[in-house]
Each structure stands twice: as C-alpha cells, then as structure tokens.
Chain A
Amino acid sequence: MLHFDRWKIILIVLTCLAGVAFTLPNFFSKETVEHWPAWVPHRQLPLGLDLRGGAHLLLAMDTNELEKDWLNTLRDDARKQLREAKIGFVGLGLAGNSVQVKISKPEDMDKAYAALKKLIQPIGNAILGTGGNDITVEQTPPDVITLRPTEQGLRQRVSSAASAAIETVNRRVNALGTAESTVVRQGSDRILVQFPGLQDTKQLKDLIGQTAKLTFHAVHPTLTAEEAKQTRVPLGYKIYPSGEGEGGRSYVLQETPVVSGEDLVDAQPGFDSRTNEPIISFRFNQSGARKFGNFTKDNVGSPFAIVLDDKVLSAPVVREPILGGSGQISGSFTVDTANTLAVQLRSGALPTKLTIVEERTVGPSLGADSIAAGKLAGLIGCLLTGLLTILAYGTFGVFAVIGLLVHGFLIIGAMTIIGTTLTLPGIAGFVLTIGMAVDANVLIYERIREELRTGKTPIAAIEQGFQRAFITIFDSQLTTLSAAVIMFWLGSGPIRGFAVTLTIGILTSVFSAVTVTRLLVVWWLNAQKGKGRIVEVPV
C-alpha cells in the first residue's frame, strides 16, 4: 500500500491537474474566459434553471385527439377507396375506436375488402420482428367491414406527431429570441421546454398554447347557422362557432378547406392602412396561391371564412379575385395577439393541442439568492469540515484537507466535462460527498491509531491502516453508489441532479481520500526517512 510506481504518481498528479484545469473557467466570468488562449479549457458548468432562473414547462399531447383525427382521416380514405372501386356502401362512420362501413351488396364484399386492405401501411422493422401494420381490416359477414388502428400504429402516430410538435414548438420558442432554450421529448407523448432567464412565462405559454391550424373555407351560400341547427346540416358542411369578440355568431362552412395554413410561406403582424387596426398579412406558396386565386375568382361577391383552430376569425366578402397569393387577416386582434399569431402561423400548426402538465419557473432574483446561499453554505461547510479534520488528525489532517480540495476540483471538473447542469439539490449532493470523502479519511486515520495502540511500528501501522480501512471504504461507498444509481435511474428532476453529483462525488471521493492522501503520506514518509528514523506518526 505504501509504494507508488512512478507512472502511477504521474497519472495521479495529471488527474489532479486536469481537475483544476477544467474547474478553473467556472471561477471567472464568461467574458474573461472567452479571451483565454484556445488550448485552455473554456467550458463552464451550466447552471440549472433553479439557480439561474427560467421556465421549465412539461407539455402533454392530447393522444385522444390524435386518435380521433386519425380515425377521421381513415374514414375519408375509406370513402375515397370505395368510390374509386365503384362499390356502393351505406353507413360509413366511427364506431368506438374503429371505422365501420356497411357494403350495400353482399357480393361486393370481397372487392371492398381488397380495396380497403390497400389502406394498410406496414410499420416498424420486419427483420427485427418488431414489424406490423398500422391498422387491421376485418370483415364481419354478411356486409360489415371494420378498420381498426393497432396499438403499434397508434404508438407510431403519437411518436411522429411528437417529433412534429417538437419542431413546431422549437420554432415558436426560438421566436422569443434565445439560442439557449431546449425542447426535448420526454416519454412517448410529452415535450419538455426549458427556457433559461425568462421572467414572464405568459408570452411563452401563449405561443405554445394554441394549435394554430389556419384554414380558409367556403361559406354556405344561403343557409345560416340557426336554420341549419333547426333543420339539418347539409352533407359536407359543418357549423363553426366564431372566436372571441366576434359576437358569438356561427357559420355553416364547407368542411373541406379551400386552402390551409400548410400553404403559408409567411405571416407578419402589421396595421390596416385605413382603420389602423392590428392585422396579419400573409403570403401563400404557389399551389396555395393558385387554389386561393381560383376560389376567389369563382366566388366574387360571396363570403369566405378564415378559421383558426375550428373557430371563425372573420368572414369577409370577396370583392375581387385575389390572384397574387397574399392577403391579410383582420379580427379583433391586439398588437400582442397579432404578434403571437403571426409567429404561430409562421412556425406551422401543432399536430395536436398541448397542455401544460407541469410548470416550474424560477425568477432570476430567487436564482441569484440561491446561488449566493449555496456558495455560502458550501464554503462554510467545507471550512468547518476542514478545521475539524485538521484539529483531529494534525499533519495527516492537512493531507486529508488537500485530498478534499482535489475532490472538490475533480467533482466540478468532471461535471463540467460531462456538461451536467448544477442545480440546488446538486449543491446539496456536493456538500454530502464532502462528508463522505472525510469519512474515508476518518476510517483510515482511526485505523492507523488503532494499529499504533496495538504496538505496531509507525510504518506498519500506516500500511495496515490504509489496507484494512480500504475494505470498509470500498463496501460503504459501493452501497451508497448502488443507491445513487437507482436514484438516477428512477428519479426525476431534482432527484436526478442530486444523484448525478452524488455518483461523481463517490468516485472522486475514493480517489481523493484513498489515493491522493496516501500519496501525500508516502511523500511525507520519504521526507521523514531522510531526516532519520520515524518516531511518531502525527495523527
């Protein structure tokens, strides 16, 4: 235990120096670090939202809505397939979580079944055995065919919708102007948005709180909503309510839109030149412009409706054909809502509505207070622990404190390299690992004292102390490590941050308390030997 090969010493010293080098940037401001030469480590420990302030929003997708949307699409596709195959059918509609259709003539069943089977899409990986289809098609004699989404198909839908939603949310969040925000998937149907340094979350919530599906519909030429409600809504039409501030009118609109928001290439907030009201001016892409141009050409004098998220924003009358592919939307906008909507339209519609299921926002003032408090507590904790150690173990106590310093540098250095964020629970974990590192030294030194009391020579006692205590240290640290790993694996949020620091801390504490301190003791022994025989161990 008391011999170090030269290469080991070099390795230990290099590790310590690396710890110091990677920790150092954290003591300086970002601006100072930027002016350092390129070969010096620049990376700084990112602070968690609880320390620097910011917003943390967990959004959940509405999977029921996704499923319903899919069933609607499936129904439309089935209608198209049967019409193309010229098969007569009645009663095509949703039945629970499936689409059912009744074929008029039983002899058409086979043909219809074959036609509908074309809608099945393979998904997953067939080679790995995870393959399957997105829907199943079953026929129930004599005349019913059922199309049912599979579990797997639904999962894939949710997954691709989540990816699309993440992109959209990302674009919207970036419009608030920071490169540091992160948008990541969590689980199958959740999205985590983290936005550092944001004081007021209202704007952020407004931006992601709306699906922003924009569509342009033809209005039924004669029928009003009241009449339609009393009689019946004609095929292919639907009643749409109007948005807030539109007087609560409803409209009978063609269900299939003329143009939709997917065809938009730009949307900007602005002001109407005549009324000075906030408006949004938009521009279509080529195909959108053509569709809209054709529609307005044929419908001069009649109204069309601009619908946002199934609510009518406005229903202006077409005065002249709009062929240039650009136009403007007015509604009862304020400057803020016009800005928000313009961003939403530019970044595209969300596949489904997102609900905020968890929000944690920390204001910058609290974050700064927490950092100050954490620093103070950490400093005082370290100072007192160090004093206590030196008081109890003298010269060897000083070695232990040097080991502690190395531990501090290594843990911060390692966290900087890995890029884990430092959170308040992380600071608590740090303080705890200092206690654990001290414990290792206490175990060793108490053991040395014990061995000395049995009458062993100083060198033998030191040797035995390190050797015997190591078994205990190993056992106790590994048990804590197993608990820390479980915490990281199962825990969420603050528990995770704590577990990361604890795990790194356990590893570095063994290194610093056992290896570094032992090296110092060995150097001390050699220095003493130079002076003559070692009479006394200063512990």
Chain B
Amino acid sequence: MFFPVPNFKGFDFFPHDLRIPFMRFKGLCFGLSVLFMALSLLLFFTRGLNYGVDFKGGSLIEVQSKNGPADLHDIRSKLNALGIGNVQIQSFGADTDVLIRVEQQPGGEANQQAAMKKVVDTLGDGYTQRRIEVVGPAVSSELRRTGTIAVFASILAIIVYVWFRFEWQFALGAVVALIHDVLVTVGLFSLLQLDFDLSIVAALLTILGYSVNDTVVVSDRIRENLRKYKRMDLNELLNISINETLSRTILTGMTAVVGILALLIFGGEVIRNFSFAMLFGIIIGTYSSIFIAAPLLDYLGVKRETVGHALKAKESAAVTAKEPTPAKAKAASRRT
C-alpha cells in the first residue's frame, strides 16, 4: 500500500524516569490551597465581584469615535451631567473605542432604556454604536440564579459520574479539586476586579470540565496501579501514578494553553476576560489534580479490595481481548 507520510520520530522531551516526590509537598500544597481558598472567600465577601451588566443589571454601550481618538474627559463630563447615576467610562482596545457603563436605574425596566437613550443622544453623531447591552432587573436576577445553578449542577453531575465510575474517595477528591478551582478563579476576579459576566460563568464551567478531565486521567492511573502493585505503600503508589501521567498532563496542558493564548492575544477585546479566566483556570486545574485530588486519597485511604474487585472483570476482559479472537486470527492470516 502506498503511504505518503515519511517515518520520523517525535521529540520525546520529557524525561520519563523522573520521580518527583510530589507527595512530599502535599502538606505544603494543602496548606497553600486552603489559604488561597480562604483568601478567595474573604475577597468574595468583602471586596465582592465586579459584576457585569448580565448580573448587576444596567446598561453598557461600546462606541467608536468617527474622527480620531475619543475624548474620554469630554464624554465623562457630558454624561455625568445627565443625572443617571454612576457612569463608568473606559478606553476599550483601540483609542477610538470607548466602553460606557451606566448603573441600573431605579424604577423598573423601562427606565433602563430611557437612560440608554439619553446617553446615545448626548454622544451625538461623532460616535458609532458598536454594541449595546441593556439588562433589566428581572433578567439580571434570573441570569444570576441560572448561572449559579449551572455551576453547582455541573459539579453535581461530575460528582455523580466520578462516583459511579470510581470509588467515593475519588469523587470526593475530584470535588475538592473542583471547588478549589472555582473558588480561586472567582477570588482572582475579585482581586483584580475584572468584569464578571455570563461568559465568565461559561469559562468556569469549562474549567470544571478541564480540571475533572485531568483528575480523571490521574485517577484512572491510580486505579490501574492499585491493581498492578498490590502491596505497594499507598503514598508511593500515588506518587508513581502522578509521575507516570506527568508527561501527558504537561503536554496536554501546553496544547490547551497555546490554544487559549491565541484566543487571549488575537481573539479580540470582547472575549479577553473569558480567555483570561480560561488560561488561569487551566493552569490551576492542572495544579489541583496533581496536588489536591490525588494526595487527598492518601488521607482518605482507598480500600484496595473493592478497587481490585471492581476491576477484575475488566482485567479479565482485557486479557481475553489480547488473545486473538477467531475473526482477528483470520484477518491476521489473510494479511500474512
């Protein structure tokens, strides 16, 4: 058969005999993670999140100056004179682009539109409207509710799945790791006071997915090794499992980071915060599967009998699959 791709070997840049004693750092890492989680909670409750219009209600308008750079000072003084409460004005990407945020107006849905109309009329013909978002009080509270439910329901779905496929200890480890990831990301957004809107919730959900992906890969290896090394000390076994999957963890992490960096740098201003949340979340998600989910199993302990037992069926299936089945044998003989 003609095969056009020449043979060349990949560059295996990862030293595989490496045995980093991850488990030795577990006390330190747990301490740090607990500290970060506590700090995030503290930030969340004291400093709060800088909610975008999706969750806080109010209006947002992005305009582009038709002639030269926009005069932020001029816009600010004009809009502040309107008496529509707090108006935030910031440059957005290029110096011709301005993002204006108007806080939620008291007195119900129709007043949001009225305030937006005032802003548009005041800005006049010198600016083109690039984007308008007006979210009334009813919708913003709904979005807040469904957003929160979506995050918790996703965590729940993941718990159920991991519990179903592994032991409860794995599920617990995964959950702690997930909550850690979400909390710390939220904490970072609180610290930097970045806009927290619907797209960030989407990012959080993706981070959950990615983080659990990592955790499952490591858990899978732990389960396999529990069966392979029946008498090994659990601590050492966990360490070996993490090390064995490390090359995959890092390579996958690298490809994901490369993709998201492309989004962050070239994806435009509108999804910048989203990309930033994803980038941070993927790094933190990788950290949590190595330093939280797996070491936690050492504290929780895993009953080897149940793991071994549950997998015996699969193992024997794997063994029979290795032996050539009649169909395969036939195919093999045909090939030779």
Report A's interface with B, CB cutoff 8 A: 3, 50, 58, 60, 199, 201, 205, 355-363, 365-366, 369-370, 373-374, 376-378, 380-382, 384-385, 388-399, 424-425, 427-429, 431-432, 434-436, 438-439, 442-443, 445-446, 449-450, 453, 467-468, 471-472, 475-480, 482-487, 489-495, 498-499, 502, 523-524, 526-530, 536, 538-539
Contacts and interface: CB of A to CB of B under 8 A. Distances in A.
A372 B335 CA distance: 50
Interface in B255-302: 255-256, 258-260, 262-263, 265-268, 270-271, 274-275, 278
B229 interface: no
Most A CB within 10 A of own CB, among B154, B209, B244, B274: B209
Interface stretch (B76-84, B188-196, B198-206): B198-206
Contact of A527 (B2, B210, B318): B2
5 contacts: A374-B268, A392-B11, A399-B5, A446-B248, A471-B314
Contacts of A475: 165, 216, 220
B1 A530 contact: yes
B252 interface: yes
Contacts of A472: 216-217, 220-221
Interface string B222-244: 00100000000000000000001
Nearest to A369: B268
Interface of B: 1-3, 5-13, 16, 62, 64, 108-110, 112-113, 116, 128-136, 138-139, 142-143, 146-147, 149-150, 153-154, 157-158, 160-162, 165, 198-199, 201-202, 205-206, 208-210, 212-213, 216-217, 220-221, 224, 244-245, 247-248, 251-252, 254-256, 258-260, 262-263, 265-268, 270-271, 274-275, 278, 314, 318, 321, 327-328, 331, 335
B146 A384 contact: no
A210 to B, nearest CB: 12
B150 A428 contact: no
Contact of B199 (A425, A431, A486): A425
A195 to B, nearest CB: 13
Contacts of B270: 50, 366, 370, 424
A239 B328 CA distance: 92
Contacts of A391: 10-11
B295 to A, nearest CB: 20
Closest 4 CB pairs of A and B: A373-B268, A381-B262, A394-B10, A527-B3
Given A373-B268, A374-B267, A495-B150, A483 B1 contact: no
B259 A395 contact: no
Contacts of B267: 373-374, 377, 427-428
A438 B226 CA distance: 28
Contacts of A477: 213
A195 B161 CA distance: 41
Given A394-B9, A471-B220, A538-B9, 12 more contacts: A356-B110, A357-B138, A360-B134, A370-B270, A399-B5, A425-B271, A431-B260, A432-B256, A432-B259, A438-B252, A482-B160, A499-B205
A486 B208 CA distance: 12
Contacts of B275: 428
A374 B267 CA distance: 5
B154 A487 contact: yes
A3 B321 CA distance: 12
B263 A359 contact: no
Contacts of B62: 366
Contacts of B12: 392, 449
Contacts of B132: 201, 359-361
B131 A363 contact: yes
B10 A538 contact: yes
A524 B8 CA distance: 13
B259 A431 contact: yes
Contacts of A484: 209
A516 B80 CA distance: 60
Contact of B157 (A381, A424, A483): A483
Nearest to A531: B3
B9 A536 contact: yes
Contacts of B162: 479
A284 B297 CA distance: 80
Contacts of B161: 478-479, 482
A490 B206 contact: no
A260 to B, nearest CB: 25
A7 to B, nearest CB: 13
B157 A482 contact: yes
A380 B259 CA distance: 8
Nearest to A397: B10
Contacts of A360: 131-134
Given A425-B199, A487-B154, A491-B202, A358 B139 contact: yes
Nearest to A385: B255
A520 to B, nearest CB: 9
B274 A486 contact: no
A398 B5 CA distance: 8
Contacts of A425: 199, 202, 271, 274
A524 B3 contact: yes
A197 B62 CA distance: 17
A446 B268 contact: no
Given A3-B328, A394-B10, A526-B1, A487 B109 contact: no
Contacts of A491: 146-147, 150, 201-202, 205
A229 B102 CA distance: 41
Contacts of A528: 3
Nearest to B221: A472
A475 B158 CA distance: 11
Contact of A538 (B7, B116, B142): B7
A382 B261 CA distance: 11
B62 to A, nearest CB: 7
Most buried by A among B2, B198, B251: B251
A380 B262 contact: yes
Contact of B259 (A60, A385, A527): A385
A438 B255 contact: yes
Given A358-B139, A490-B149, A502-B206, A376 B212 contact: no
Given A479-B213, A495-B202, A487 B252 contact: no
Contact of B202 (A384, A489, A494, A529): A494
Contact of B10 (A365, A396, A429, A523): A396
Nearest to A59: B109
